[in-house]
């Protein structure tokens, strides 16, 4: 190529976040250092200096160039917030009679790290050879895919197995007797209150409050679900130990209650026996007193009878003596 030959070279290239264009005699770039291959031309921009040459494979084209820095608006476009269904699709829900083991690697030879019980939930990470890698609670590991559901199948199931809550998102929210604004107001709940959701209808949520069962507008609450998650081996051991301790305490409490009941029964029997003995003594006393009262008149009568007999005998004796006296006179 003749150095006196005038040629126009046009190329545009993208290197990382920088865009550079040169056409003929003008160059505009954002980056301070870039290499832009294109059209058989090697272009090097170094530290913002003017470039005097464009080097091709065979020759050099002398040019005049101007370096300019351009401000690029790099404001990130906000991503759409994922919907609840999007989140549910990423769940892995166990569907077994009892539980499925969470293992250290995708094989039945893997160490058991924990258990995912029926209807318990983990978050999908990856899939490998018929195993799902999940994270759930404090456990991250692999579960056999055949014992779980995920993706679209998990969306409806998640609504059934999760416990649903509504958090009040306004200063004061009316709780109504029916899902409409024409019905009576059952009560009011303050902002931040978390209500247990019983049912969801179009634009309304059925909740349980102190005043009873009512409805709140879905526009003024934030809905979320809570799920049972996997249990690690350590958590299982701690739970079983706690349950055993509770059973031991329950047995001891039952034994104490039985002993106390037996002691109370014994004391009641003794008290009853004492009361019966006391009553018997009182009865005997009353009978003795009655007998004494009855005996005194009989004794008095006997004494009177004895006295009368003695008097008659004495009188009779006196008459006899008198007769004898008269007879002797």
Q: List pLDDT tens digits, range 83-112.
A: 889 999 999 999 999 999 999 999 999 999
Q: How many residues does the chain have?
A: 329
Q: Please tell me the pTM assigned to this model.
A: 0.55
**Where are the alpha helices (H) located in the chain, listed in sequence order?**
84-89, 152-161, 233-328
Are the C-beta atoms of residues 113 and 89 closer than 8 Å to each other? no
More confident residue, 125 or 298: 125
- 199 Cβ partners below 8 Å, 6+ apart? 205, 206
Cα 77 to Cα 49: distance, rounded to the nearest angstrom: 34
More confident residue, 324 or 155: 155
Find, among 16, 35, 11, 19, the residue nearest to 71 by Cα: 19
84-159 shares its CATH topology with 162-226: yes
**Fold (topology level) of 84-159:** SH3 type barrels. (2.30.30)
Q: What is the DSSP string of 158-208?
A: HHHHSEEEEEE-SSEEEEESSSSTTS-EEEEEETT-EEEEEEEETTEEEEE
In the prediction, which pLDDT does 159 show?
A: 86
Quick check: 321 pLDDT over 70? no
pLDDT bracket for residue 79 (50, 70, 90):
confident
Check if CATH label 2.30.30.40 holds for domain 162-226.
yes
More confident residue, 307 or 167: 167
In the prediction, which pLDDT does 30 show?
A: 43
Q: List pLDDT tens digits, range 249-300.
A: 999 999 999 999 999 999 999 999 989 888 888 888 887 777 766 666 666 6
Domain ranges of the chain: 10-62, 84-159, 162-226
């Amino acid at each position: 190529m003749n150095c006196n030959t005038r040629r126009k070279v046009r190329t545009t290239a993208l290197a990382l976040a920088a865009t550079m264009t040169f056409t003929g005699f003008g160059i505009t770039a954002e980056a301070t250092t870039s290499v832009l291959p294109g059209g058989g031309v090697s272009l090097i921009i170094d530290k913002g200096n003017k470039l005097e040459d464009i080097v091709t494979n065979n020759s050099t084209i002398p040019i005049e160039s101007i370096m300019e820095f351009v401000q690029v608006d790099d404001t990130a476009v906000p991503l759409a917030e994922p919907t609840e269904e999007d989140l549910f699709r990423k769940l892995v829900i166990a569907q077994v009679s009892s539980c499925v083991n969470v293992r250290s690697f995708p094989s039945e030879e893997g160490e058991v790290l924990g258990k995912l019980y029926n209807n318990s939930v983990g978050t999908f990470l990856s899939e490998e050879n018929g195993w799902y890698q999940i994270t759930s609670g404090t456990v991250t590991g692999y579960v056999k895919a055949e014992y779980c559901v995920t993706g679209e199948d998990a969306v409806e199931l998640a609504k059934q197995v999760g416990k649903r809550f509504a958090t009040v998102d306004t200063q004061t929210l009316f709780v109504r007797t029916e899902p409409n604004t024409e019905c009576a107001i059952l009560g009011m709940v303050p902002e931040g209150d978390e209500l247990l959701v019983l049912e969801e209808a179009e634009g309304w949520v059925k909740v349980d409050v102190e005043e009873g069962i009512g409805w709140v507008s879905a526009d003024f609450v934030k809905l979320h679900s809570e799920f049972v998650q996997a249990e690690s081996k350590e958590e299982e051991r701690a739970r079983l130990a706690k349950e055993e301790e509770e059973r031991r305490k329950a047995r001891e409490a039952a034994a104490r209650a039985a002993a106390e009941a037996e002691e109370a029964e014994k004391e009641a029997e003794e008290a009853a026996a004492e009361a019966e003995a006391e009553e018997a003594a009182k009865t005997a006393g009353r009978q003795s007193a009655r007998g004494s009262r009855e005996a005194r008149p009989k004794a008095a009568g006997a004494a009177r009878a004895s006295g009368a007999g003695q008097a008659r005998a004495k009188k009779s004796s006196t008459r006899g003596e008198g007769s004898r006296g008269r007879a002797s006179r």
